Amino acid sequence: MEPGSLPQASAPALQAGVDHLARTWDTVTRALQSRIRAEAFQTWFRRSALVRCDDQVLAFAVQNDFARNWIVSNYLAEMGEAAREVFGSPRQIEIEVDAELVRPRDAERETVLVAPAPLARTRATQAAPAAMPGELVLNPKYTFDNFVVGPCNRFAHAAAAGAAESPGKTYNPFFLHGSVGLGKTHLLQSLCGSILARNPQARILYLSCESFVNHFIDALEKSDLLRFRDKYRNVDVLVVDDIHLLANQERTQEEFFHPFNTLYQAGKQSVLSSDSPPKDIPTLQERLVSRFTWGLVVEIEPPCYETRMAILKRKSRDRGREFNDDVARLLAERIESNIRELEGAVTRVLAHCNLVNAPVTVETAREALREVFAARRGEPTMEEIIACVSQRFAVRASEMQGKKRTNAIAFPRQVAMFLARRLTNHSLEDIGGYFGGRDHSTVVHAITKIEAKSKSDPQCGDMVADLLSRLRGLKP
């Protein structure tokens, strides 16, 4: 081989290596995209590139320290899962900074001025306000009317509706918190829609916390902080979703404080949502915490059994095939903590039944959700507890969940309540809800009774111990 041929031979090899990295990164980021929100992906990963990949390490680069820190505090777990999915075994994730990594940004996705659909179109044809790059059409399904109200979210719903009625006056700032999938975004968007319906001229800035940070980084890079500040100050209503993402971002918190404060002083409404109350957001500046709590802080709680039933009925009815009680009960018992998952289950069941052209029954629903149910781990479900007890005492599950008070039913029902308290995280109210809507004092009574009886009566003690170990055995 001539000495000169070496570079020519290695160039394609080099290119192949680069292509390989790009393809691998493409696969990994695709796996990542199914785990994080589209907007988060756009913000933090669209300028990323794979640097190194072997059987131990997956190293990629992002455009600056800020993005790196953000990913480390928020998306490392998802990144690890994505890598594991792609490679079949875990990789150590390393993140480097490479300022050269500049891919074009699509500005449209960032800050959004909310307007209902027809209005957004009108505005787009007129001169759009220069400071607002994109407009988000409100999701029409997010309205107060479409929001199913129960004890868990009644206060949140009322407060959001109240703030929409007289923005800046009643509940300001309005801070809504609760864990994921419980309807925070739904309420925030309903609030925007309702304000706009009353006053189409209202200037509402609705954005995710990530958009805010994203703009801030952009402004920093372009040394354009003044314009950045103005943009956020010239609105009537500022709505920032998922503010907990500001945790550990001191510089951005500082920047957020200014417009927030100015708006407050000008009597303009701010609305914030978060996955935890202000004081529990790590390293949130003291003065932000105290500002947030000036107004109204409301928690949105996981839906209780009755509310889950109502949501399932409503969502299936809206899709044209209302579930009967048995089907709704099956889902409400299995899917407990998250309304988004309930909604997903409705979609899945309906799609399955349409596909196989079958009616919606407990059997077809179970079939449609087999994977979902199988994937659940940990504590036994209420359905498993009830099934186990009803088998033991030869009574029907529906009777235990019904109103009858004969001793033959009441005792197994009390045992099931006791087991539910021992083996699950359900509240007393929630447990009562499963057993014919009984209140929490009935549940306390059942638990005390079974506890006492299993101490004084060895037969009862054995029976309870056996049921407990059986149900614990259901865990993987």
Q: Footprint of Mg ion on this chain (CB under 5 A)?
A: 184-185
Q: Interface with ligand ADP includes 136 (CB under 6 A)? A: no
d(CA 259, CA 434): 47
Report the residue from 31, 148, 312, 395 that binds ligand ADP according to the rule CB under 6 A. Answer: 148
Nearest distance, CB of residue 183 and Mg ion, angstroms: 8
Tokens of 411: 């005792």
Cβ nearer to Mg ion, comparing 68 with 186: 186
Sign for the pseudo-dihedral over CA of 108, 113, 116, 118: negative
Helix H or strand E segment including 458:
helix 458-473
Nearest distance, CB of residue 171 and ligand ADP, angstroms: 18
Q: Interface with ligand ADP includes 340 (CB under 6 A)? A: yes
Nearest distance, CB of residue 137 and ligand ADP, angstroms: 16
Window 268-327: residues binding ligand ADP (CB under 6 A): 311
Residue nearest to ligand ADP (CB): 183
Strands laid side by side in the 92-97 sheet = 49-53, 57-62, 92-97
List Cβ<8 Å contacts ≥24 apart for 449-454.
Answer: 449/414, 450/414, 450/415, 450/417, 450/418, 451/418
Nearest distance, CB of residue 339 and ligand ADP, angstroms: 4
- Per-residue x/- track, 66-105, ligand ADP (CB under 6 A): ----------------------------------------
Q: How far apart are the first and last CA of the chain?
A: 61
Helix count and strand count (H, E) for the chain = 22, 10
The option from Mg ion, ligand ADP, none interacting with 284 (CB < 5 to 8 A, set by class) reads none
- Per-residue x/- track, 166-205, ligand ADP (CB under 6 A): --------------xxxxxxx-------------------
Q: Interface with ligand ADP includes 208 (CB under 6 A)? A: no
Return all residues near 181 (Cβ < 8 A) that are at least 6 apart. Answer: 337, 338, 339, 340, 341
Cβ nearer to ligand ADP, comparing 50 with 339: 339
Cβ nearer to ligand ADP, comparing 148 with 247: 148
Q: For the residues of 187-228, what is the DSSP string, one character each?
A: HHHHHHHHHHHH-TT--EEEEEHHHHHHHHHHHHHTT-HHHH
Stretch in the footprint of ligand ADP (CB under 6 A) among 142-150, 376-384, 422-430, 435-443: 142-150
The option from Mg ion, ligand ADP, none interacting with 148 (CB < 5 to 8 A, set by class) reads ligand ADP
Cβ nearer to Mg ion, comparing 185 with 307: 185
Tokens of 236: 């009537």
Residue nearest to Mg ion (CB): 185
* Strand 134-137 relative to strand 112-115, pairing: parallel
User: Could you give the dihedral angle defined by the CA atoms of residues 261, 262, 266 and 269, in that order, rounded to the nearest 10 degrees?
Assistant: -50
Sign for the pseudo-dihedral over CA of 233, 243, 109, 125: negative
Which stretches of 119-267 are assigned E, i.e. beta strand? 134-137, 174-177, 204-208, 237-241
385, HSE (Cβ side, Cα atoms, 13 Å): 28
Nearest distance, CB of residue 215 and ligand ADP, angstroms: 21
> Token pair 């945790």 is at which residue?
247
The option from Mg ion, ligand ADP, none interacting with 249 (CB < 5 to 8 A, set by class) reads none
Cβ nearer to ligand ADP, comparing 189 with 270: 189
Return all residues near 188 (Cβ < 8 A) that are at least 6 apart. Answer: 160, 176, 206, 239, 241, 271, 273
Report the residue from 42, 43, 74, 153 that binds ligand ADP according to the rule CB under 6 A. Answer: 153
Cβ nearer to Mg ion, comparing 343 with 429: 343
Cβ nearer to Mg ion, comparing 189 with 442: 189
The option from Mg ion, ligand ADP, none interacting with 186 (CB < 5 to 8 A, set by class) reads ligand ADP
Stretch in the footprint of ligand ADP (CB under 6 A) among 87-95, 110-118, 139-147, 252-260: 139-147
Binding site for ligand ADP (CB under 6 A): 142, 146-148, 153, 180-186, 311, 339-340, 343
